[in-house]
Amino acid sequence: MTPLGGPVSPFSGQNELTTARAGSMNPATGSDRIRVAIVGPGNIGIDLMLKILKRSRFMELAFVVGIDPASEGLRMAAELGCRTSATGMEEMLADTTIRIVFEATSAKAHLANAPRYRAFGKKAIDLTPASVGLAIVPAVNGAMAAGADVISLVTCGGQATIPIVEAISSVEEVDYAEIVATIASRSAGPGTRQNIDEFTHTTARAIEGIGGAHRGKAIILLNPAEPPILMRNTIYASVKDPDLGRISESVRRRVREIQGYVPGYELILEPTFDGEKVCTMIQVRGAGDYLPAYAGNLDIMTSAALRIGDDCAAVMLGKGRAP
């Protein structure tokens, strides 16, 4: 599988990746890293693989599991020194040194896989909208992730917008919040398109449960424009007598927090209000580790997964949350 929209060479940082992996030690011999696996070596799985290898402080990528022996992701993983399997998860599940599994398949697959991860004592971090386990958005409730055996990263639109809804609801009561996530059609692969119903339901529930709105709604739009657009997210919040100064300060502070793990996250419309409706807009540019810059909807998921994975690994090592 090639990156969306043409190749962004995953091997441009080959020396950096090799050095990073060589510095990892086996936890059974007193390691300062936790061994992890990725299930699903598609575009998202490859991008996450490169992020872990290049930037993780507390994880060692040990295993990548797929279903196609000829897949680009499995080939890359093998060339980078990871164990791979195209015949099922049994070998990975049986490896007791692997403590964390990243699910990068589909919502349907994760519903079947989650009980198996739990049975084998592995923490699962789910990048699909299956909505199984504890829903986590790093900038809002990331501190809760270490205590959960199954973690849901909600959706790309949720990761981009729920922190802003919560930033507003932390200073003003939000009766209703609606988000519109607009992504490039070319960044929406088969998995994204198959999971659209799950996207809207999962995101809406998390707008309420994590974002703090009394009622939530989520909409996703696939824009076919060429060249492809960057991911843009519009957030509407119904607030009685809004204090725009307090809201703006809270939103800007939250944006800075997210930029700590998603550098391409940007506030492009300062909060404005019309009567009782507050409106603001976020843009997400991908880091280009494997996927093109316009695929910010995928990059924000892999960036959140890296952050939560490092946090959980740091806690497992007795180091507290990753700084």
Catalytically active residues are: 156
Of 102, 302, 127, give the one whose Cα is nearest residue 202.
Answer: 127
With 0-12 CB in 10 A as exposed, 13-18 as middle and 19+ as buried, what is 103?
A: buried
Whether residue 93 contacts residue 120, with contact meaning beta carbons closer than 8 Å, is answered with: yes
Whether residue 149 contacts residue 124, with contact meaning beta carbons closer than 8 Å, is answered with: yes
What the block records as the tokens of 253 is 């502070």
Of 101, 113, 126, 119, give the one whose Cα is nearest residue 35.
Answer: 101
- CA 113 vs CA 52, 138, 176: distances in Å: 22, 23, 34
β-pair partners for 221: 182
Half-sphere exposure of residue 192, counting CA atoms within 13 Å on the CB side?
Answer: 23
What the block records as the tokens of 208 is 């309420």
Number of H helices, E strands in the chain: 11, 12
